[in-house]
Amino acid sequence: MDVRQAVLGEIAIRSGRDVASIDVGVLVRRLILFNTVIVRSFRLRELPLLVRTFGKTGIQELLQSGVLKFCCEFTSVITDIHRNGVRFAPAEHFTFGIAAAADRDGDLRKELRGLQGVAGLKNNERNAIEEAVWNSLVRPPDTFGADLLQQIDTDLRTNSPSLKAAILDQLRQEFIHLDLAHRILEISVEEPQQRMFHIKTTIPQDFGLSPEKTHLLLQRSITAVANLNHRLADMVAYSALTGFLESEAPLLFGKVAGILAPQNPKIAEEQFKRVIEIADVPDFKAGLKVDVEKLMKLRDSEECRDFRGWLSTVEDISDEEIRKMAGGMKNKLATLAGSSRGKAVRLAATTLIGLVPVAGLVLGL
């Protein structure tokens, strides 16, 4: 699978541990703009809402065609290990672990019972949907957790630029009125024992934080680095792009600065901003019923195929050409969505990952 032709992301709108709604607009736009959409699922609890949105036959068509897939893992990184409520390592020292579900398959099978609450769904129809969902689940390699830990260790061991970017971001949140643009922040990382990292900074002296507050700030920073590594590892494992927030851009660029320096990441960033300003894709209302047959026809149209191919080749396209391509798709999508107002889809495609082969990304991280 070409990483630039698949997208990975959540659609659940959560309320605590429940899924209150799904972002139909995000999902439909992705289904149109990408060959394959992998939904990062919250325990498969989006399924009843997806059946109501696409219909019982429509959701099966999307799943069986391979257009729509699911991933649902319970892997998480522990960045500050405690034993019996007591911190395992001294202050400003960190080591990492992986937590995972003991019986992932059993847990997910139980979650499929949520389809029993869909009105009008017969047993054989529910069973067919459950089988289609189960067959659509994609999984990372068995070494995913170990590889992820190794990458986080490498980031700390080499004092990666992403660590400094994360610490500065936390300092900006802690001291919102301070201008940190010209502050010199000294950061060093020592490894007093295997996989135990001591992060030394001048934060207590420069900002007057106590050792405990400094430790908590560093913990949040390392968690941000770990989360970014997790998402980049997901990209590689599932051969798919994932979205990111504007606030995450400095950390993302800090992570891949070494890879993109020869290609000038500032230029890539400006290209991304250009696409956001010009290519405005119509939004979709919550609760919208989507005709899958019409959606699939739109996906397979020549204009839509050209539009998807264009996403990763915007550098040499004029603004007028972008407006023309976006305008045609906006009209088609507005008809499907019943709306002419738009919201930009923000993806790492044109900023970063679209410029770097997956193999290069793995080797360079």
Indicate the pLDDT class of residue 246, thresholds 50, 70 and 90: low
pLDDT digits (tens, 9 = 90+) for 70-115: 999 998 888 877 777 777 788 899 999 888 888 999 999 999 999 9
102 vs 347 pLDDT, higher one: 102
pLDDT digits (tens, 9 = 90+) for 111-166: 999 999 898 889 999 999 999 999 999 999 999 999 999 999 999 999 988 899 89
3-state class (DSSP) for residue 104: helix
The amino acid at 315: E
Q: How far apart are the first and last CA of the chain?
A: 21
Select, from the ranges 31-40, 173-182, 300-309, the one with the highest average predicted confidence (pLDDT): 31-40
Cβ–Cβ contacts within 10 Å for residue 18, how many? Answer: 10
Distance of CA 147 to the CA centre of its chain: 18
Q: Which residue carries 């930009």 as its tokens? A: 344
As given in the structure block, the two tokens for residue 187 are 């950061």
pLDDT for 169 beyond 50: yes
Cβ–Cβ contacts within 10 Å for residue 64, how many? Answer: 14
Query: By the 8 A CB rule, do 153 and 196 touch?
Result: no
pLDDT digits (tens, 9 = 90+) for 296-335: 888 888 877 776 666 556 667 777 777 776 666 666 666 6
Indicate the pLDDT class of residue 345, thresholds 50, 70 and 90: very low
